[in-house]
Amino acid sequence: MVSEWLVGGRTVPRRASGLTVAELVLQYWRFAKGYYSNDGRPTGSIGGIRVALRHLRGLYGHTLVADFGPLALEAIQLNLVRNGLSRSTVNEQIACIRRAFRWGVAKELVPPTILQALQALPGLRKGRSRAREPVPVRPVTDEVVEATLRHLPVVVADMVRFQRLTGCRPAEVCILRPCDVDTSGEVWNYRPQEHKTEYLGRERVIFIGPKAQALLRPYLLRENASYCFVPAESEKKRRAAAHARRRTPLSCGNRPGTNRRGRPKRFPGDRYTTASYRRAIDRAVELANRKAAQEARGRGEKPPAAMASWSPNRLRHTAATEIRRRFGLEAAQVTLGHATADVSQIYAERDWSLAAEVMRKIG
């Protein structure tokens, strides 16, 4: 291996001529864990990065970085397709691997010509590959939402209702705090402490109308910097409801809090995550299906078709559909925070006025 790279007609010292792909993966992963985080918490991007680097290391970990090229990247691409990943997910994973090599170029660990070669591999196109197409995210009907709400814990049910009324993202309802909400106007303003497009310099404002205000008001009666929707409170209310339904006399059976012998102690966190929020909905849908089947069998009828589980992100699509139908496309874009980053200040103010008017009427 030579100790220099030829770049632009001149030689550049090579800092790590014998660097393997596995070593590059390790160094990039250390960087990514710190870079893709907010206040010590990993962002949603880190999971996809972990999976992409795992595929890269698994297939080509022992390969020298200088010997890694477009054919190797294409082999990873085909392997991801064979594993059943959707076309868009495959493209995201390949883009993540390219970013790792781009970072290596910036740190003078990877020859720039390697990155240039990797960019020659095109992404998968719709109808031009054997990868399955991703299923579009569809709105969840209000009937399904109502059927689910009946089996959700009180706190999570209020999270669902708040998200449905405002069209905010699941992460934004999870991190809601009293200090982030301006209650001075007729329509309240919620500015999340962090949001999806924060790194692009965009400001995120969520407008809260009268219905959502009535729902949220009790949750604002706490410390300003604490989270509004707390799992510990939800679990306390769930246990209280279960105790109220208890049929066994207190003198018999287990007393409250005494039937956890041998189980690992689990303490609810200070807020819901998007994953725990989603799991609560999954459990409620499962319980709703079980109850519906039991009631049908009790009537001597055939159990109805099971209700499919749904993700909280679909509530955002439901809100967007309603807003667009009633107020137009522009209203849906500005209310849900889809404005571009380079709009003028005047345009932003006009957008926010429109979004506030929408929430005054429906939220």
Query: How much is the pLDDT for 352?
Result: 59
Task: Copy the structure tokens of residue 334.
Answer: 């500005």
**pLDDT average, residue stretch 221-240:** 79
> What is the share, in percent, of the chain residues with pLDDT greater than 90?
48
Query: How much is the pLDDT for 263?
Result: 52
Task: Copy the structure tokens of residue 174.
Answer: 């999870």
Comparing C-alpha atoms, which of 216, 229, 220 is closest to residue 178? 220
pLDDT in tens, 272-323: 988 999 999 999 999 999 998 888 888 888 888 889 999 998 998 888 888 8
Detail the DSSP E strand segments found in the chain. 4-7, 10-13, 37-38, 41-42, 181-182, 188-190, 206-208
C-alpha–C-alpha distance, residues 241 and 15, integer Å:
64
* Comparison of pLDDT for 9 and 118, the residue scoring more: 118
Least confident among 93-102, 139-148, 169-178, 224-233: 224-233
Examine the pLDDT at 173 and tell me if it is beyond 60: yes
* Comparison of pLDDT for 235 and 120, the residue scoring more: 120
* Comparison of pLDDT for 362 and 177, the residue scoring more: 177
Evaluate the CA torsion angle 288, 265, 232, 39 in order and state its sign: negative
Query: How much is the pLDDT for 260?
Result: 54
* List of domains in the chain: 4-118 (1.10.150), 142-248+269-362 (1.10.443.10)
Least confident among 44-58, 72-86, 202-216, 339-353: 339-353
Examine the pLDDT at 25 and tell me if it is beyond 50: yes
**Contact present, 205 and 155 (Cβ < 8 Å):** no
Examine the pLDDT at 8 and tell me if it is beyond 50: no
| Parallel, antiparallel or unpaired: strands 4-7 and 181-182 | unpaired
pLDDT band, very low/low/confident/very high, at 61 (cuts 50, 70, 90): very high
- Measured CA to CA in angstroms, residue 134 lies from 86, 113, 362 at distances of 5, 33, 32
Beta bridge partner(s), residue 181: 190
pLDDT band, very low/low/confident/very high, at 347 (cuts 50, 70, 90): very low
Centre a 10 Å sphere on the Cβ of residue 247 and count the other Cβ atoms it contains: 5
SS3 131: coil
Mean pLDDT computed over every residue of the chain = 82
Query: How much is the pLDDT for 26?
Result: 95
pLDDT band, very low/low/confident/very high, at 38 (cuts 50, 70, 90): confident
Least confident among 116-125, 178-187, 263-272, 296-305: 263-272
Examine the pLDDT at 19 and tell me if it is beyond 60: yes
Query: How much is the pLDDT for 136?
Result: 78
C-alpha–C-alpha distance, residues 253 and 250, integer Å:
7
C-alpha–C-alpha distance, residues 106 and 89, integer Å:
26
**What is the model's pTM?**
0.70
Beta bridge partner(s), residue 190: 181, 206
Query: How much is the pLDDT for 16?
Result: 46
pLDDT band, very low/low/confident/very high, at 164 (cuts 50, 70, 90): very high
Examine the pLDDT at 35 and tell me if it is beyond 90: no
The answer for residues whose C-beta is within 8 angstroms of residue 69's C-beta and 6 or more apart is 114, 117, 118
